[in-house]
């Protein structure tokens, strides 16, 4: 795996990181062509700062403190295994920082968290047409046989 740029860090976001996180989150939403607004972003920002909420966040910062990547994740019960795993909801790296090791660093830190919590696996989904992301995922993870479905209530 590629190492991130020297001096970069991976950690939960601080309250002062909100503007930088929002730029990344807007970029993630735009990539998937999902409308983003202040209400949604404020809700998610609140979740990741509420220790009682399941959603957590890691951000990647450059040596000068600029946010360049994010990962939203949560615990996921696995009833057939009688175990707990992790679910990576969102992974996004600023376009100008792709290929620099930021995604690898975010997933490496998430893997450390998973080990410390005794999670059996970390799982995620991505869009069929996310070719660059899928190429990266194919290098670092195992593609499963599962298809994803949803019902809107």
Q: Supply the CATH classification number for the domain 9-140.
A: 3.40.630.30
pLDDT tens-digit series, residues 85-136: 999 999 999 999 999 999 999 999 999 999 999 999 999 999 999 999 999 9
pLDDT tens-digit series, residues 5-61: 888 999 999 999 999 999 999 999 999 999 999 999 999 999 999 999 999 999 999
pLDDT for residue 1 is more than 80: no
The residues spanned by each domain of the chain are 9-140
Instruction: State if pTM tops 0.85.
Output: yes
How far apart are the C-alpha atoms of 100 and 3, rounded to whole Å?
A: 7
How far apart are the C-alpha atoms of 44 and 126, rounded to whole Å?
A: 19
Tell me whether strands 83-93 and 56-61 are parallel, antiparallel or unpaired.
unpaired
Beta bridge partners of 56: 73
Beta bridge partners of 91: 71
pLDDT-wise least confident of 17-21, 36-40, 79-83, 147-151: 147-151
Of 138, 7, 112, nearest in space to 68 by CA:
7
């Amino acid at each position: 795996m590629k190492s991130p740029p020297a001096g970069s860090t991976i950690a939960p976001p601080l309250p002062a990181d909100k503007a930088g996180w929002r730029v990344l989150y807007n970029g993630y939403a735009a990539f998937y062509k999902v409308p983003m607004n202040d209400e949604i972003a404020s809700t998610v920002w609140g979740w990741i700062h509420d220790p009682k909420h399941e959603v957590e966040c890691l951000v990647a910062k450059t040596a000068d403190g600029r946010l360049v990547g994010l990962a939203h994740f949560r615990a996921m019960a696995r009833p057939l295994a009688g175990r707990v795993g992790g679910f990576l909801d969102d992974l996004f790296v600023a376009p100008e920082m792709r290929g620099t090791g930021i995604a690898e660093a975010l997933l490496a830190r998430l893997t450390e968290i998973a080990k410390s919590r005794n999670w059996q696996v970390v799982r995620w989904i991505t869009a069929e047409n996310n070719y660059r992301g899928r190429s990266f995922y194919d290098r670092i993870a195992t593609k499963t046989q599962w298809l994803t479905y949803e019902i809107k209530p």
